[in-house]
Chain A
Amino acid sequence: MAWTFNGTGSQTTLPSGSYLDIPNGDWSFTGWFRIPTNLGSEYRRIVGWGTRVATPHVQVYVAENGVGPLADRNHLGARVIDPSGNDTGVIKVTGLNLSNNLNKWLAWTLTHNGSNDTTYLRVFRASTGITYSATSVQALAGISNTDISEPLYIGSLNDGVDATRFKGDLAETSFMSGTFLDFESNWQGFTHGRRGFRLPDVAWNVPMLGDRTEVWGTGDSIITPTSTNVSTATYDNPQLQLITPQPKHIPYESTDPLLQSINNTLNFVQVAEQNRIIVLSANNALNLVQSELCACDVPVSAGNSLTLSDVAGRTMEFSGSHVLVLASVVLHLNIVGDRLPCGSTLNLVQYAQVANQVDPQHDLGLVQTVDIQFPIKPNVHQLLGITQHTSTPHREFVTQSLGIYDRADVPLPTQHVSHTLNFVHDAPIGNVENTLNFVQDVQFSKSLTAFNTLNLTHTLNRVMIYDRTLAHDNVVGHALTWYEDSPCGRKQYTPFQGENTIPLNVGLPKDTLGDPQGEDSTFKLYQPYLGAHTNEVELRQPELDNRDRNAFSRVSQETRGGKLIVFADPIWPKVRTLAVTVIGLTEAQVDEFQAFMLATVGQEIGLTDWEGRLWKGFITNPNDQATQDGKARWTISFEFEGEMLDVQQPGEEGDGNGMVLSLTHSVTAVIV
Chain B
Amino acid sequence: MRAPYPGLVTTALLPSPQWGDSKSLTATVTSQRSMNGTLYTYVKDRNGRMKFHWRFEIARNKALELREFINAYYGKLIQVTDHDGDIWTGYFRNNPFEFMGAGRAGPSWPGGETMTFELEFEER
Contacts and interface: CB of A to CB of B under 8 A. Distances in A.
A-B interaction:
yes
Interface of A: 477-483, 485, 489-500, 502, 505-510, 513, 544-552, 554, 556, 558, 561-570, 574-575, 577
Given A490-B62, A496-B10, A544 B75 contact: no
A498 B65 contact: no
Contacts of A509: 10, 65, 68-69, 71-72
B96 A550 contact: yes
A297 to B, nearest CB: 52
Interface string B30-60: 0000000000000011111100000000110
* For the complex of A and B, 7 pairs with smallest distance between CB atoms: A568-B75, A479-B7, A562-B47, A551-B96, A509-B68, A562-B46, A496-B11
A510 B61 CA distance: 13
B29 interface: no
29 contacts: A481-B9, A481-B10, A481-B11, A489-B13, A491-B61, A492-B110, A493-B61, A493-B64, A496-B10, A496-B12, A497-B9, A505-B9, A506-B72, A508-B9, A508-B72, A544-B103, A545-B101, A547-B101, A548-B67, A550-B67, A550-B98, A552-B97, A554-B75, A561-B47, A562-B44, A562-B46, A564-B46, A565-B124, A568-B76
A551 B95 contact: yes
Contacts of B12: 495-496
A490 B14 CA distance: 6
Nearest to B123: A564
Between A492, A513, A549, A564, the greatest number of chain B beta carbons within 10 A of the residue's beta carbon is seen for A564
A666 to B, nearest CB: 43
B76 A506 contact: yes
B22 interface: no
Nearest to A556: B91
A481 B47 CA distance: 30
Given A493-B62, A493-B64, A556-B91, A477 B7 contact: yes
B91 A544 contact: no
A547 B100 contact: yes
A577 B96 contact: yes
Interface in B56-110: 58-59, 61-62, 64-65, 67-76, 90-91, 95-104, 108-110
A660 B20 CA distance: 55
Between B9, B15, B47, B70, the greatest number of chain A beta carbons within 10 A of the residue's beta carbon is seen for B9
Contacts of B11: 481-483, 496, 498
A481 B101 contact: no
B9 A490 contact: no
A580 B91 CA distance: 29
Contacts of A550: 67, 70-71, 96-99
A500 B103 CA distance: 38
Question: Main SS of the interface on chain B?
Answer: mixed
A552 B75 contact: yes
A551 B67 CA distance: 11
Given A562-B45, A568-B74, A575-B96, 14 more contacts: A479-B9, A481-B10, A491-B109, A493-B62, A495-B68, A497-B9, A500-B7, A509-B71, A509-B72, A547-B98, A550-B98, A563-B47, A564-B46, A574-B71
Contacts of A548: 67, 98-100
B22 to A, nearest CB: 18
A380 B23 CA distance: 104
A508 B73 CA distance: 9
Given A493-B64, A496-B12, A548-B98, A505 B103 contact: no
Interface residues of B, number: 52
B72 A545 contact: no
A483 B45 CA distance: 36
A523 to B, nearest CB: 13
Contacts of B73: 506
Interface of B: 2, 4, 7-15, 44-49, 58-59, 61-62, 64-65, 67-76, 90-91, 95-104, 108-110, 113, 122-124
A39 to B, nearest CB: 48
B2 A481 contact: yes
Contacts of B99: 547-550
B97 A549 contact: yes
Contacts of A545: 100-102
A505 B65 contact: no
Contacts of A485: 13
A591 to B, nearest CB: 27
Contacts of B8: 479-481, 498
B97 A500 contact: no
A558 B65 CA distance: 30
Contacts of A549: 96-99
Contact of A554 (B68, B95, B103, B109): B95
B13 A564 contact: no
A496 B8 CA distance: 11
A505 B6 CA distance: 11
Nearest to B113: A544
A546 B13 contact: no
Contacts of B71: 509, 550, 574
Contacts of B97: 549-552
Between A483, A506, A577, the greatest number of chain B beta carbons within 10 A of the residue's beta carbon is seen for A506
Contacts of A564: 46, 49, 90-91, 122-124
Nearest to A548: B99
B51 to A, nearest CB: 10
A544 B102 contact: yes
Given A498-B9, A507-B72, A564-B49, A491 B108 contact: yes
Contact of A505 (B4, B62, B109): B4
A551 B94 CA distance: 8
Contacts of B108: 491
Contacts of A570: 75
Between B61, B71, B104, the greatest number of chain A beta carbons within 10 A of the residue's beta carbon is seen for B71
Contact of B10 (A490, A498, A551, A568): A498
A492 B59 CA distance: 7
A480 B110 contact: no
A507 B73 CA distance: 9
B113 to A, nearest CB: 7
Contacts of B95: 551-552, 554
Contacts of B2: 481
Nearest to B90: A564
A85 B120 CA distance: 84
